[in-house]
Amino acid sequence: MEHHTTILLIEIGALLFGLGMLGRLGRRFGLSPIPLYLLAGLAFGQGGLVQLSASTEFTAVGAQIGVVLLLVMLGLEYSADELVGNLRSAAPAGLIDMLLNALPGAAFALLLGWDWKAALVLAGITWVSSSGVIAKVLGDLGRVGNRETPVILSVLVIEDLAMAFYLPLVTAVLAGLGLAGGLSTLSVAVVTVVAVLVVAIRYGGEISRFISVKDPEALLLSVLGLTLFIAGVAGELKVSEAVGAFLVGIAISGPVAHHATQMLTPLRDLFAAVFFVFFGLSTNPADIPPVLLPALGLAVLTMLTKVLTGYLAARRAGIALPGRIRTGLALMPRGEFSIVIAGLAVAYGVDARLAALATAYVLITVVTGPLLARLPDYTWFREIIRKRMAAQRATQKPLPSTE
Amino acid sequence: MEQTPLPGIGVRHDLVTSSGRTVGVVSHRNGRRDLVLYDVDDPDSSLASIPLTDDEAEALADVLGASLMLGQLAGLRQQAAGLLTEQIALPAGSPFVGRRLGDTQARSRTTASIVAVLRDREVIASPGPEFRFEANDVVVTVGTRRGLDGVTAILAGDDDG
């Protein structure tokens, strides 16, 4: 074997083994592996502790595949009917979510003196909560059955669907097509997404029947192949690979979706880890300390706006005060999508500080978010809420008449 | 019974009992089912979420469904004089062995309802239109005398529509 190839094997092997160990360590503390992968990436990148040499090309390609797999799995989780039904019922909540969380990000970028492209990117980074991390938190805290959970999920669904329009816009703008070019790819995206939804609702069964469930190997290869192909075509059309993959996931339904999810999950775990490491690799750790304070400020600000979003969305759904607070706190962590967006910006060479800021920002929210989501389960917190509710009730209701 | 979709997870059914408590079932898309009990003080929050295997869920549903069904049948007999309950054994040569309940169109043709099927000493309560008959099934039917005779004829294959 060639020397270069053996070094490649050694580097990748050591990297993956290290990530496995890190993930195990994180699980012990109830920590999502995402921040650990990012930190590992920082440690091995330019200006890090040890520099990887032979495997940079592999991680770059692996990271691309990672994004595609993250998105196709997200699409597989939802059916087209669910997306459309959800859009009807939760559109106002989605709008509140966008206004309250994307605008602060954009404003913050402009305040730092960055250009409007960076502002557009940062808006996306602060807007999207991490569906993966939040789903995990809800499961861990035994809240899947809670009555506010559908509110949380519907906000996440709308965010994910909104990405199908946001990512093409950003890709086009970053590619230097200007706002007009951005809007034209956006309209292409809108047409594509609507077409895919309609086709998936009408003919989802036929598409899925085309792919046989019986042969797991053929299923894996055909679904993975189809996804990568469509993602590539979407990327060529500047609609973004991620959106192409997401749409493939939505179009596949029924038993095929179920089996494909099972087959692709290990692959997704592998390549998503590579993606997070790659993003960490492309960030120079030396860039982080100067942006640490802004990142902290942005994190605090946008975590508060997420709490407000959750509060308002849950109130619309008729959830009581404790549930509203649980909704808000659960929505705080940002994660994979924010990194995907930041990764796009890095690929097109926007301000290097943006990557550093995004890394720090995601690290802060993804670590503190799940911890803060536990707050409503503590007795002292419940006591405070109970007193608040009692006080509210006292002011709302007139004194009972003496009968 | 209220049904709420949980995008990406599955569906939740919940029910507020007359005693004011809420119980629910979260059916995950991967087949897992959780029985959920809600807090009295904070009805949005679940106190306990109990995962049930297929067998456990079936056993629980049988117990709840069967006792409910028999209770309903006893009640029906008392309150409505003209309404009868009959257990019709599916004849061995019935054209409906292996076919769906919906294919009999029993209710629309005779006004009598098939409310349960007894199979191997088990009660299958309120079978849906997708339910498939097997040989030796006993079909529990509620209706008027005429209706019951009609169902008997349909199941025997004597009915020419």
Task: Give residue limits of the domains in chain B.
Answer: 2-52, 59-156
Q: Is residue A117 part of a domain?
A: yes
SS (H, E, C) A161-229: HHHHHHHHHHHHHHHHHHHHHHHHHHHHHHHHHHHHHHHHHHHHHHHHHHCCCCCHHHHHHHHHHHHHH
- In the numeric block, the tokens 């060639």 are attached to A2
Question: Does A400 map to a domain?
Answer: no
Which residue in A85, A153, A326 is closest to B6 by CB distance?
A: A153
A202 in a structural domain: yes
Taking residue A103's Cβ as centre, other Cβ atoms within 10 Å add up to 16
Q: Which of A62, A253, A84 is nearest to A154 (CA)?
A: A84
| Closest residue on chain A to B2 (Cα) | A147
**How many whole angstroms separate alpha carbon A117 and alpha carbon A110?**
10
Range of the domain at A189: 3-390
Partner-chain residue, chosen from B8, B29, B44, that has the shortest CB–CB distance to A146 = B44
Q: Which residue of A has its CA nearest to B8?
A: A77
Confirm whether A397 is domain-assigned.
no
CB contact under 8 A, B5 and A150: yes
| Domain assignment present for A396 | no
CB distance B23 to B17 below 8 Å: yes
CATH architecture of B59-156: 2-Layer Sandwich (3.30)
A399, part of any domain? no
Taking contacts as CB-CB distances below 8 angstroms, the residues of chain B near A156 are 7-8
Helical spans, DSSP H, in A78-148: 80-111, 116-127, 131-140
Does residue A403 sit within a domain?
A: no
- pLDDT tens sequence for chain A (403 residues): 577 788 888 888 988 999 999 888 888 877 778 888 888 888 887 766 677 776 778 888 998 999 899 989 988 888 888 888 888 888 899 999 999 999 999 999 999 888 888 999 999 999 999 888 898 888 888 888 888 999 999 999 899 889 888 988 888 888 877 777 778 888 888 888 888 888 877 876 776 777 766 788 888 898 899 999 999 988 888 778 888 898 888 888 777 888 888 889 899 989 999 998 888 888 888 888 888 999 999 999 999 999 999 999 999 988 888 899 999 999 999 988 899 899 888 888 787 788 889 999 999 998 898 889 888 888 888 888 888 878 877 776 555 544 4
Q: In B, which residues are within 8 Å of A143 by CB distance?
A: 45-46
CA distance B9 to chain A (A): 8
Q: How far apart are CA B44 and CA A212, in angstroms?
A: 42
ipTM of the complex: 0.72
Q: Residue A116 belongs to a domain with what CATH number?
A: 1.20.1530.20
- By Cβ distance, the residue of B4, B36, B42 closest to A322 is B42
Cβ neighbours, 10 Å, residue A297: 13
Looking only at the bridges linking them, the beta strands covering B138-143 and B122-125 are: unpaired
Interchain proximity A144–B38, CB inside 8 Å = no
Determine, for residues B49 and A78 on separate chains, whether the beta-carbon distance falls below 8 Å: no
Report yes or no on A99 lying in a domain: yes
Asked if A386 and B43 come within 8 Å (Cβ–Cβ), the reply is: no
Q: What are B40-52's pLDDT values in tens digits?
A: 878 888 888 888 8
Task: Establish, for the pair of chains A and B, how many residue pairs have beta carbons separated by less than 8 Å.
Answer: 72
CA Rg, chain B, in Å?
A: 19
Domain count, chain A: 1
Amino acid at residue number A186: L
Measure in Å the smallest separation between the Cα of A181 and chain B Cα atoms: 33
